[in-house]
């Protein structure tokens, strides 16, 4: 029974190693607490997609009647727009993910993490995970509001679930990009660049608000290489009932590959930060 | 320079450390490159407090960042708790606590959350981390604010929390980079008291950087004076002052008229030099003031010169700094372009 007795003088065991997954979960919890403590942030995050959805939905409702508009005969413009707004919200939110890194670098928090056994992967995945969770919650609200406004989605629950996978992947992609930019530049201003100069063109070089088939050819070509459009394509096809499952899987695969590449680049950015300090 | 302690007791062992910022990447940058460390040597025995004293830009923070595995040296070797900082960074990270010059706590978390998260990331179980957080909050006298967001805490309380966060996993070696810069005197005294308690406790080695002479003098067992990326002298604060070979001797005479007669009398006392009269006050320097003063008083008494008061003043670390660098610490601060105790020291450390 000697193995069961503990030395009463030992109040604390020698520190074990916390696994990277546990660390990621702990750090995601920290992000969530921070986020929840700024209610304005949460309200703005929900308000913005509503504005997109209701404003664009009204303003452009008749574009669906243009001959040749994809699915124009079966879907309303609101139904066409909803997956686009879901993804705009996800990308727009995750573009700011690097803010936490910038704040942590401004203080000594990042240096403390890096001088501890905390894994860089955990720091990065916590940021990705929190923005993915936030975007999934927002996506459900957007779809719900669209439904209340009369939109119907034949894809049902499986359609919504597949949409959420795409939302999570797109959020992770942009959270990793934003984190990398934060680590490389250490400036909040640089994140404004990501958010304004990158995400807005990506939104319009896609099928989010308009069928690219009706736009100049170069836009349709650009959309094919646009990860944001991959996510929109997945969500739209899933919500409308999986007319083209091949395209859904292909684009999910492309998104996952992009997340892997961007995550790898972002972890390399930690080395650049280390060289700079 | 002091002799290195034997290998088994050495918690920090640094030899010939060099580091240049802004080198080798692109044409414009070479011209702006700054040699932050220029062959720095350092040793600290296990359980001791080592103070790195120097002005902003001397290389103190750079040294600490390299020892904490945050920054890579260009040359030289550094071992912390027996592990090489370049080859075994993971082992070093498990052995150390690091409190940066800037606050290391999350302002949007409570004090308790900061401590528990730090403990969990360091490998404590959930229950252990909570217990340790309670213990530290109590010990640092901030338990009343434990569940308030750190952004609402005063500077002194927040700095104590920084130190507590560095201690949460009971590190073997704790790095404190300017722990009291920017604090008011009362908060500084409170942080000093905590550091003294920690140092007296569980055999932890502490390396602290400071540009406050009193801080190094009061807290450090060993002081290394750093200037332009090198250690110019090191030793116990007392040994460093003794090296100056000269305590100040002051004798207040009963009658100013006897001063002229007192000067040659004092000058004949062995070990007393530089005698001068200043009104009714006799000033001199002595190699070892504690033995010279009684001899001086006896000589004056024998000569019939009455004495009202006498005193010795020990050289300060500022005298030591002046002797080794040719300028006072205050002048060095001015040259570095910042006054002691302001923010922005980080930028100066790198850019100056």
What is the pLDDT, as a whole number, of residue A196?
85
Contact B72 A275 (CB under 8 A): yes
Give, to the nearest 10 degrees, the angle between helix A77-94 and helix A156-185: 30
Residue-wise pLDDT tens digits, B208-235: 999 888 888 899 999 999 999 999 999 9
Secondary structure (DSSP) of B204-231: -EEEEEES-HHHHHHH-SEEEEEETTEE
Nearest C-alpha neighbor of A90 from the set A255, A268, A267, A261: A255
Interface of B with A (CB under 8 A): 65, 68-72, 90, 93-94, 96, 98-109, 113, 117-118, 120-124, 128, 132, 149, 162, 165-166, 169-170, 175, 350
What is residue A6's predicted lDDT score, i.e. its pLDDT? Answer: 37
Name every chain B residue with its beta carbon within 8 A of the beta carbon of A277. 65, 70-71, 350
Q: Mutate one of A109, A275, A276 to test the B interface: name it (highest B CB count within 10 A).
A: A109
Show the 3-state SS of A124-170: HHHHHHHHHHHHHHHHHHHHHHHHHCCCCCCCHHHHHHHHHHHHHHH
Any CB–CB contact under 8 A between A73 and chain B? no
- Per-residue pLDDT averaged across A49-58, rounded? 88
Is residue A244 less than 8 Å (CB to CB) from chain B?
Answer: no
The arithmetic mean of pLDDT across residues B45-55, rounded, is: 91
B2-13 mean pLDDT: 66
CA distance A231 to A166: 5
Q: Is the pLDDT of residue A257 over 80?
A: yes
Least Cα separation, residue A16 to chain B (angstroms): 5
Distance of CA A189 to the CA centre of its chain: 20
Query: What is the rounded average pLDDT of the residues A77-83?
Result: 94
- In whole angstroms, give the CA distance from residue B190 to residue B141: 10
Contact A26 B149 (CB under 8 A): no
| Nearest-Cα residue of chain B relative to residue A122 | B121
Model confidence at A1: pLDDT above 80? no
Q: How many CB atoms sit inside 10 A of residue B35's CB?
A: 15
Nearest to A117 among B93, B99, B105 (CB): B93
Whole-Å CA distances, A120 to B117, B236, B269: 16, 39, 68
In this prediction, residues B48-73 reach a mean pLDDT of 92
Compute the mean pLDDT over every residue in chain B, rounded to the nearest whole number.
85
Tell me the per-residue pLDDT of B306-320, one tens digit each, with 9 for 90 and over. Answer: 999 998 887 777 777
Instruction: Indicate the residue of A22, A23, A274 with minimum beta-carbon distance to B70.
Output: A274
ipTM above 0.90, yes or no: no
- Judged by CB atoms closer than 8 Å, whether chains meet at B96 and A111 is answered as no
Among A208-212, B145-149, B174-178, name the one with the lowest average pLDDT: A208-212
Helices first, then strands: H and E counts in chain B? 14, 14
Where exactly are the structural domains of chain B? 7-241, 245-313
Does residue B2 carry a pLDDT above 70? no
Banded pLDDT at B63 (limits 50, 70, 90): very high
Report which secondary-structure segment, H or E, holds B249.
strand B247-253
More confident residue, A45 or A15: A45
CATH 3.50.7.10 for domain B245-313, yes or no, is: no
pLDDT of residue B138: 92
Q: Report chain A residues whose CB lies below 8 A from the CB of B128.
A: 12-13
Contact A37 B149 (CB under 8 A): yes
**Given this chain, do its domains B7-241 and B245-313 carry the same CATH topology?**
no
Give just the sign of the alpha carbon dihedral B203, B231, B19, B17.
Answer: negative
Between B290 and B346, name the one with better pLDDT: B290
Pick the closest to residue B93 from B63, B121, B113 (CA basis).
Answer: B121
Q: Would you state the CATH architecture of domain B7-241?
A: 3-Layer(aba) Sandwich (3.40)
């Amino acid at each position: 029974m000697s193995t069961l007795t503990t030395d009463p003088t030992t109040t604390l065991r020698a520190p074990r190693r916390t696994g990277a997954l546990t660390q990621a979960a702990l750090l995601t919890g920290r992000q969530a607490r921070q986020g929840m403590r700024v209610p304005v942030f949460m309200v703005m995050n929900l308000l913005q997609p509503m504005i997109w959805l209701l404003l664009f939905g009204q303003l452009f409702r008749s574009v669906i009647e243009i001959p040749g508009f994809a699915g124009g005969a079966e879907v309303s413009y609101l139904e066409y727009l909803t997956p686009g707004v879901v993804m705009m919200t996800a990308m727009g939110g995750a573009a700011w993910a690097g803010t936490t890194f910038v704040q942590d670098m401004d203080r000594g928090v990042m240096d403390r993490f890096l001088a501890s056994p905390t894994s860089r992967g955990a720091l990065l995945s916590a940021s990705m995970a929190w923005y993915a969770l936030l975007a999934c919650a927002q996506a459900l609200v957007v779809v719900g509001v669209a439904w209340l406004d009369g939109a119907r989605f034949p894809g049902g629950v499986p359609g919504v679930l597949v949409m959420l996978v795409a939302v999570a992947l797109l959020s992770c992609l942009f959270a990793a990009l934003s984190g990398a930019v934060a680590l490389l530049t250490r400036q909040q201003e640089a994140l404004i660049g990501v958010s304004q100069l990158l995400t807005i063109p990506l939104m319009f070089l896609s099928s989010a608000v308009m069928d690219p088939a009706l736009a100049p050819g170069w836009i349709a070509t650009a959309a094919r290489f646009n990860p944001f459009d991959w996510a929109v394509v997945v969500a739209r096809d899933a919500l409308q009932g999986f007319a083209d499952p091949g395209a859904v899987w292909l684009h999910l695969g492309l998104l996952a590959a992009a997340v892997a590449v961007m995550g790898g680049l972002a972890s390399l950015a930690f080395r650049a930060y280390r060289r700079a300090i | 320079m002091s002799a290195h302690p034997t290998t088994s007791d050495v918690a920090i062992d640094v030899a010939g450390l060099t580091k240049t910022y802004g080198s080798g990447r692109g044409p414009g940058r070479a011209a702006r490159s700054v040699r932050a460390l220029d062959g720095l040597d350092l040793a600290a025995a296990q359980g001791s407090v080592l103070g790195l004293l120097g002005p902003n830009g001397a290389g103190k923070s750079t040294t600490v960042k390299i020892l904490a595995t945050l920054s890579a040296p260009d040359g030289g070797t550094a071992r912390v708790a027996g592990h090489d900082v370049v080859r075994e960074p993971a082992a070093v990270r498990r052995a150390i606590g690091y409190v940066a010059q800037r606050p290391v706590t999350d302002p949007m978390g409570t004090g308790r959350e900061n401590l528990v998260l730090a403990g969990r990331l360091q490998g404590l179980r959930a229950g252990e981390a909570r217990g340790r957080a309670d213990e530290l909050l109590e010990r640092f006298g901030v338990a009343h604010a434990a569940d308030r967001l750190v952004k609402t805490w005063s500077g002194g309380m927040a700095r104590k929390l920084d130190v507590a966060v560095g201690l949460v996993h009971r590190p073997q070696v704790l790095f404190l980079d300017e722990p009291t810069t920017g604090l008011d005197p009362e908060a500084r005294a409170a942080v000093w008291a905590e550091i003294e308690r920690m140092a007296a406790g569980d055999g932890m080695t502490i390396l602290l950087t400071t540009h406050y002479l009193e801080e190094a003098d009061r807290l450090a067992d060993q002081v290394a004076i750093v200037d332009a990326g090198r250690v110019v002298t090191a030793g116990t604060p007392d040994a460093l002052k003794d090296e100056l070979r000269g305590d100040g001797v002051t004798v207040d005479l009963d009658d100013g008229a006897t001063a002229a007669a007192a000067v040659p009398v004092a000058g004949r006392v062995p070990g007393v030099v530089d005698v001068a009269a200043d009104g009714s006050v006799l000033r001199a320097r002595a190699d070892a003031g504690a033995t010279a003063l009684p001899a001086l008083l006896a000589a004056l008494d024998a000569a019939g010169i009455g004495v009202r008061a006498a005193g010795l003043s020990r050289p300060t670390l500022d005298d030591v700094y002046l002797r080794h660098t040719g300028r006072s610490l205050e002048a060095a601060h001015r040259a570095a372009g910042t006054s002691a105790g302001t923010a922005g020291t980080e930028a100066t450390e790198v850019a100056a």
